[in-house]
């Protein structure tokens, strides 16, 4: 067999990188003109794409052509300015450059000794998150692939701290509006679904603290071991923020671990207008953050903060004969002592480089802008005919539905669902719905760093135009 050198020459590397950069920059600068919803006939395409492993190589240009002209456009355009659906994504360009540096230098950042200065950059970035969230010194954290894995690590810490080996009797509480990653995380951490309580919410989707207190008491009477409450700092369905201070009080009184899921909402701590709504978040035992949402980072950037850093280290600390001696707990941060990974990518670099490059004020300004845009959108959408706001935007997300005289719930649901599709089909903004409080609600979520006032104008204009058609149709159907 012919021996192939896997290394490229300096000239080849530059040429390849130039091609990739040219494609990426072209992609970003044309984002607003690209379809928001690009998935068409995907089954047929995916079937055509199946192939067995290629024995010989293909030129980069051909691969880039397929990627950029065929595969990438077949998607929800999550980084587009008009993306107001689900929880919008980010994709700040400097983070991609950081990944390029991390991947080409390929240093080992799983353990402190192998790249102490690089690991310190990651520790700095975690410290900055700690400061922004108002957590005390002594907090430790870990970067994860996303909010789900952050929440999993939180359940693990709480379980180790409160249950030890007595896992089966432990009970975890969350609201019926919690993200489904809570039940998945519990299961991964050995807490089975029959030990997860889904507490009802009030009319505006906040966990009912009295019902929570009663559920805890009932489980204690039944001989079980309540150990953890997961509350929401911004639900995915409607953006509701649980009464974090009251839940924190209850957890102190009951001696439970209080975890806050801030995957969508925690970065609104950087916004002057929403800090009061989030009051109590800084008292949590642990906090899920998703920089790939509220800090506009590319996907694959989640984070967990744990107020008592020793608890995170207790969950993950380990030694092995083949590893160098670990730095002492208080001295230097060591990623593999605070999370499940050993060998890993270098998520700290994209955070560090991006925050250093822009400065924290840029993020504060962006989050403040998202808040202001959401308030403006909610006020104007509420003025449209047939629209009922189901809750005000507590952060940057609000739910609504359509109604008209004598409409039934089923008709309202059908019309609201159709409105989401009709507005998205117009192609300037994409919005999505959810089922909450027994009905289908439309949602507007402003969180893309690329969304500005023009997109809110498009939203209001396109909703206005679509509402009359949708309501006229469903009214006729109901007669
Ligand atoms: C997105 C989200 C999650 C899950 O985070 P991933 O990064 O998708 O794993 C959890 N909770 C809430 C409220 C979210 O919005």
What is the spatial order of strands in the sheet that 439-445 belongs to?
387-389, 397-402, 439-445, 432-436
Predicted confidence at residue 95, as pLDDT, reads 98
Report which secondary-structure segment, H or E, holds 315.
Answer: helix 309-316
Query: Which of 155, 232, 290, 432 has most ligand 1 atoms within 8 Å of its beta carbon, as the pocket-test mutant?
Result: 290
Contact indicator for 251, 258 with CB cutoff of 8 Å: yes
Describe the strand order of the beta sheet including 140-144 as a list of residue ranges.
Answer: 140-144, 302-306, 286-289, 257-262, 225-232, 170-175, 196-199
Ligand 1 contact via 264 beta carbon (within 6 Å) = yes
| Terminal-residue alpha carbon distance, the chain | 77
- Helices 147-163 and 309-316: crossing angle in degrees, nearest 10, is 90
- Alpha-carbon Rg for the chain, nearest whole angstrom, is 24
Ligand 1 and 90: CB distance under 6 A: no
8 Å CB contact between 442 and 401: yes
Residue (of 346, 329, 321, 286) closest to 104 by Cα position: 346
Cα separation of 145 and 260, whole Å? 18
Backbone φ, ψ for residue 233 (5° rounding)? -105, 75
Please give the pLDDT value at position 476. Answer: 79
How confident is the model at residue 478, as a pLDDT? 63
The pLDDT of residue 1 is 67
| Of 214, 271, 264, nearest in space to 238 by CA | 264
**pLDDT score of 56:** 95
SS3 354: helix
Ligand 1 atom, smallest distance to 235 CA: 13
The string of pLDDT tens digits covering residues 226-242 is 999 999 999 999 999 99
**Ligand 1 centroid – CA 64 distance (Å):** 31
Number of neighbouring beta carbons within 10 Å of residue 153? 26
pLDDT of residue 200: 98
Q: Are strands 170-175 and 196-199 parallel, antiparallel or unpaired?
A: parallel
Closest Cα to atom 2, ligand 1: which residue? 263
Alpha carbon separation from 261 to 94, 117, 398 (Å, rounded): 27, 31, 18
Judge if the beta carbon of residue 336 lies within 6 A of ligand 1: no
Three-class DSSP category at 3: coil
Confirm or reject: Cβ of 262 under 6 Å from ligand 1.
no
Q: What is the DSSP letter of 66?
A: I
Residue 213: the pLDDT is 98
Q: What is the pLDDT along the chain (479 residues), one digit of tens a residue?
A: 677 899 999 999 999 999 999 999 999 999 999 999 989 999 999 999 999 999 999 999 999 999 999 999 999 999 999 999 999 999 999 999 999 999 999 999 999 999 999 999 999 999 999 999 999 999 999 999 999 999 999 999 999 999 999 999 999 999 999 999 999 999 999 999 999 999 999 999 999 999 999 999 999 999 999 999 999 999 999 999 999 999 999 999 999 999 999 999 999 999 999 999 999 999 999 999 999 999 999 999 999 999 999 999 999 998 888 888 776 766 899 999 999 999 999 999 999 999 999 999 999 999 999 999 999 999 999 999 999 999 999 999 999 999 999 999 999 999 999 999 999 999 999 999 999 999 999 999 999 999 999 999 999 999 999 999 999 998 877 65
Give the number of the atom of ligand 1 that is nearest the alpha carbon of residue 302. 7
What is the torsional sign of CA 320, 321, 323, 325? positive
Spatial distance between the Cα atoms of 196 and 312, rounded to a whole number of angstroms: 22
Check if the beta carbon of residue 140 is closer than 8 Å to that of residue 153. Answer: no
**Gap between the Cα atoms of 42 and 67, Å rounded:** 14
Q: Kindly report whether the global pTM for this prediction surpasses the value 0.85.
A: yes
Cα–Cα distance, 366 to 358 (Å, whole number): 11
Spatial distance between the Cα atoms of 184 and 189, rounded to a whole number of angstroms = 9
Helix (H) or strand (E) segment spanning residue 478: helix 453-478
Q: State whether the beta carbon of 181 lies less than 6 angstroms from ligand 1.
A: yes
Q: What are phi and psi of 61, to 5 degrees?
A: -55, -45
Rounded Cα distance between 182 and 153, Å, is 11
CATH numbers and ranges of domains, the chain: 13-48+57-77 (no CATH), 98-358 (3.40.640.10), 361-477 (3.90.1150.170)
In whole angstroms, what separates CA 125 from the centre of its chain? 18
Listed residue (75, 54, 160, 95) closest to 363, CA to CA: 95
The minimum-distance atom of ligand 1 relative to the CA of 148 is 9
């Amino acid at each position: 067999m012919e021996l192939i050198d896997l290394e490229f020459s300096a000239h080849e590397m530059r040429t390849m990188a130039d091609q990739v950069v040219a494609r990426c920059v072209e992609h970003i600068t044309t984002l607003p003109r690209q379809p928001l919803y690009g998935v068409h006939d995907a089954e047929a395409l995916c079937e055509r794409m199946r192939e067995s492993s290629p024995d010989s190589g293909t030129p980069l240009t051909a691969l880039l052509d397929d990627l950029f002209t065929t595969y990438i456009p077949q998607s929800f355009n999550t980084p587009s300015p008009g993306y107001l659906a689900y929880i919008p994504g980010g994709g700040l360009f400097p983070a991609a450059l950081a990944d390029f540096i991390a991947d080409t230098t390929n240093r080992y950042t799983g353990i402190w000794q192998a790249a102490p200065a690089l690991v310190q950059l990651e520790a700095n970035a975690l410290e900055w998150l700690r400061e922004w969230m108002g957590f005390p010194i002594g907090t430790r954290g870990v970067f994860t692939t996303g909010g789900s894995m952050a929440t999993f690590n939180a359940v693990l810490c709480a379980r180790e701290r409160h249950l030890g080996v007595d896992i089966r009797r432990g009970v975890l509480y969350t609201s019926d509006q919690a993200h489904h990653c809570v039940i998945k995380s519990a299961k991964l951490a050995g807490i089975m679904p029959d030990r997860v309580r889904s507490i009802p919410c009030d009319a505006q989707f906040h966990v009912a603290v009295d019902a929570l207190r009663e559920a805890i008491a009932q489980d204690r009477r039944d001989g079980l071991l309540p150990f953890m409450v997961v509350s929401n700092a911004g639900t995915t369905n409607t953006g509701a923020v649980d009464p974090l201070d009251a839940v924190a009080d209850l957890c102190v009184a009951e001696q439970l671990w209080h975890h806050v899921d801030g995957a969508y909402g925690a970065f609104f701590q950087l916004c002057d207008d929403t800090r009061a709504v989030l009051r109590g978040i800084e008292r949590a035992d642990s906090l899920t953050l998703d920089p790939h949402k509220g800090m506009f980072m590319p996907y694959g950037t989640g984070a967990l903060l744990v107020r008592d850093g020793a608890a995170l280290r207790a969950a993950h600390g380990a030694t092995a004969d083949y590893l160098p001696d670990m730095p002492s707990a208080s001295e230097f941060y060591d990623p593999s002592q605070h999370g499940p990974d050993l060998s890993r990518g270098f998520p700290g670099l994209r955070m560090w480089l991006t925050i250093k490059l822009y400065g924290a004020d840029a993020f504060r300004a962006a989050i403040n802008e998202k808040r202001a845009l959401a308030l403006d959108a909610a006020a104007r959408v509420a003025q449209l005919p047939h629209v009922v706001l189901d809750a005000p935007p507590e952060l940057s997300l609000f739910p609504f539905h359509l109604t008209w005289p004598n409409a039934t719930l089923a008709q309202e649901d059908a019309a609201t669902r159709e409105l989401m599709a009709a507005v998205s089909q117009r192609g300037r903004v994409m919005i999505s719905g959810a089922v909450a409080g027994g009905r289908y609600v439309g949602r507007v979520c402003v969180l893309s760093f690329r969304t500005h006032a023009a997109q809110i104008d498009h939203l209001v204009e396109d909703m206005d135009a679509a509402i009359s058609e949708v309501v006229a149709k469903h009214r006729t159907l109901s007669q």
